[in-house]
Each structure stands twice: as C-alpha cells, then as structure tokens.
Amino acid sequence: MTQLEIRDLSKTYDRKVWALDKVSFEVQTGDFVILLGLSGSGKSTLLRCINRLIEPDGGDVLYEGTSVRGLSATQLRRYRRNIAMVFQQFNLVKNLSVLSNVLTGRLGYHGLVDKHSTAELDAAYHNLNRVGLKDLAKRQVKNLSGGQQQRVAIARALMQDPAVILADEPVASLDPATADSIMQYLGEINSEGITVLCSLHFLSLARRYGNRVIALKDGLKVFEGLPADIDNARFKQIYGQEAEEI
C-alpha cells in the first residue's frame, strides 16, 4: 500500500537555486527508504517538506492519498502525530531528564502538561527499554554520550505511536560503531511495521538496512532502486567522479 507519495516536490530558498527540483517517488507501508547524497543535495529539505517543517514551493506530498499541503492547523497536528522526526543534532532539552525528554513525544496529543498518565509513563519506560536506556531514565540528557542522546530521541519519536519515522542524518555525528547500533534500532523498529525514511552519507549502511534507495544530487533525483544496484558507476554519479566509497 502506498503510504507516502512525493509528487513533483520543489523548493527554493533564494528564488535562484532549487534545493528540490520536481522530485517524485512513492513510499510503501513498511519500507526502509534510504536517502543518499552529498550535503546540500536536498535530503534534509525533502524530509522537512514531508512533515511541513518547511513549505514547498511546488508539487505535493500525499499521505494515504490525502494532500498534506492543504491541511488546516488541527489536521496538520494530527498528521504530524503519524510522522515522527529524528534529527542529526538530537534536538533534546539538555537540562531535563531522559524521561522528561521522551515524554515530550506526547505533545502532539495534548500539549504541555504538568502530569502524565500512568499509561504514558509506562509507555515512556517501555520505549526507553527498547533502546536500552531504561536504567538512565532519571539522568539529565547533558550527561549522556552522543549515541545515548540519539537513542533518547528515537524513544521520544516512538512516544508518538508513529506510522512513519523521518530520520535526518541520525548518525552523521557519531562514530562508526555507535552509528551502526543506532541503525540497528531503526531497523528493529522498521521490522515492527513502522516505515522509515532515513538520510545517510554512507552507502555501506544503506546496503545493510535499506530496502530501497532514493539518491539526490543538486536537488534532483538521480537514482531510485535497490541498494545492491548502486555499483561504482552509480556511486560516482551520485557523489562525483572523484568520490571513493568508504
């Protein structure tokens, strides 16, 4: 079943250069789609257009057949409950506890509250346990490593009960071993039926975890297909003739 349809999506920030230039593709329920491309290729812009953190200048995004560009404020809030975001820089409140940060994943349901329900607290601990951080629930986020902070961000995303997770360079600031562990968590979540769109730089991780790849270059879609189909020639088409795979 088609869950997301990206239709001729276009975005420019300066009316001169297109950050996205009529990009189109479909995402099926349960996909793990990897977005590949150099920095500035349009990957982050694409993800932010999907959940309308930024507004596209052309084209459309359809979720389960409904355009998200025409949603009212109330409808947009409901839509965003289904579309969770994981950021490269974690976007956590560093002076709050791990548990408090995870509970902010419920803001789309009832805004700020002084007290959460027992069910929400149980869900928060459950999601922390899923990412191996239940024992650190009361620790301040600022005292965690980068990999631990990204796991907090994943647990926060899961608090939305999302149908889709958009992960924007979630491992770019992490060492290789930690990056692989974060991708494993996303892979486990995907295996439970949650669709994942994840932007990456490393083809090795795309091959290991993705079932499809969308590659962007200068705002254009230059490849769509299976990770295994990206040979050396395709790699250089995406990253440039001087690029070497690592």
Which DSSP symbol is given to 72? -
Residue for token digits 């962007």? Answer: 216
Model confidence at 107, pLDDT cuts 50, 70, 90, reads confident
Task: Pick the closest to residue 105 from 118, 122, 120 (CA basis).
Answer: 120
Domain 2-239: top CATH class: alpha beta
**Long-range contacts: 177-180, Cβ < 8 Å, 24+?**
178/145, 178/146, 178/147, 179/205, 180/205, 180/208
Which amino acid is present at 41?
S
Alpha helix positions (H), the chain? 43-50, 73-82, 98-103, 107-110, 118-130, 146-158, 176-191, 203-209, 232-239
Q: What is the mean pLDDT of residues 89-93?
A: 92
pLDDT in tens, 74-83: 999 999 999 9
Q: What three-state secondary structure class fits 109? A: helix
Quick check: 243 pLDDT over 70? Answer: no
Asked whether the whole model's pTM tops 0.75, one would answer yes
- pLDDT value of position 235: 81
pLDDT digits (tens, 9 = 90+) for 147-180: 999 999 999 999 999 999 999 999 988 998 999 9
Report which of 54, 161, 164 is spatially closest to residue 108, judged by C-alpha positions: 161
Q: d(Cα 52, Cα 76) in Å, to the nearest integer?
A: 9
Q: Is the pLDDT of residue 54 over 80?
A: yes
